[in-house]
Amino acid sequence: MSSCPNRRQFPRLAGAVLLATAVLTVAACGDRQAERAARAAAEAQARAEEQARAAAQLQREFDAAVAANNWELARVHGAALLAQYPDTPAAAAVEPGLAEVTAKAEAAREQRRLAALWNYARVAAGKGEQRSAAIFSQDPVDTGGGAAATVQLVLRDHPEWKRSAYLVLQGGDFDCYGGCKVKAKFDDAAARPMSAWRPDTDEAIAMFIEDHRGLWKQLRKARTLEIEFPVKGGPDKAGGRRTAAFEVGGLDGTQMPGWD
């Protein structure tokens, strides 16, 4: 509350002394109010300058992240700038490009997710080294082995057995002894038939796709792959065939030298 008097606080008294005292009191009160107003304005100006400095720093960090193509970090800095200091020149400079940066950040995160779906291995084999790239299907598939389970796609480069591509089941079996046809569908393109065969071995429930070169070539351009293959277990609504779907867009070609 103000300590300055008002008119009701001055009684009806005559005299020069009382009048002079009242005038001095009111003048002093006006000075204090002016000082408070000036101090408040100075504090507001200081806050505005501090916000401008902080906003400018976030803008520099945003610009540096964009220059480095670090879209996710740029999105973080840009979003923080607009949320904390929306009325600053820095926010006005960043806001027009933030939507594009955000889209690129989402794309980068999605690409990282796709890349993490692949597993790569390098092991000693024969007189050299075996390399492989493997990925599991998006969803479990009922292949006649009891509970549904994911299907694995493997690309292998062996020093003696050379290059190959094959599917591996965790249960059930392929109906492909002596050879069969599978259907491979890349993205939205029409499914294409590919020759395959199931080796007569119990070491693994595996079925090889003969055209591993063609499969690799399409994998390097595709985001999704669906492979329809025959399984044992008698006729059903799917005609004894199952489909495994893979998100293959994160394949790193450098992990398999010479395949490209």
pLDDT in tens, 155-178: 999 999 999 999 999 999 999 999
CATH topology of domain 118-255: Immunoglobulin-like (2.60.40)
- Mean pLDDT over the full length of the chain: 87
Distance of alpha carbon 234 from alpha carbon 239, whole angstroms: 8
Tokens of 134: 């493997």
Angle at CA 215, nearest 5°, toward 210 and 221? 175
Tell whether the model's pLDDT for residue 9 goes beyond 70. Answer: no
Pick from 86-90, 200-204, 249-253: least confident: 200-204
For range 226-231, the mean pLDDT? 96
Pick the more confident residue, 53 or 155.
155
Query: Is 80 exceeded by the pLDDT of residue 46?
Result: no
Full-model pTM:
0.75
Enumerate the domain spans of the chain.
16-114, 118-255
pLDDT (0 to 100) of residue 198: 96
Is the per-residue pLDDT at 259 higher than 80?
A: yes
Range scoring the smallest mean pLDDT among 35-39, 82-86, 127-131 = 35-39
pLDDT at 76: 96
Do 258 and 162 touch, CB atoms closer than 8 A?
no
Q: pLDDT digit string (tens) for 99-156?
A: 999 999 999 999 999 999 999 999 999 889 999 999 999 999 999 877 899 999 999 9
143, 245 Cβ separation under 8 angstroms? no
Range among 5-9, 21-25, 114-118 rated most confident: 114-118
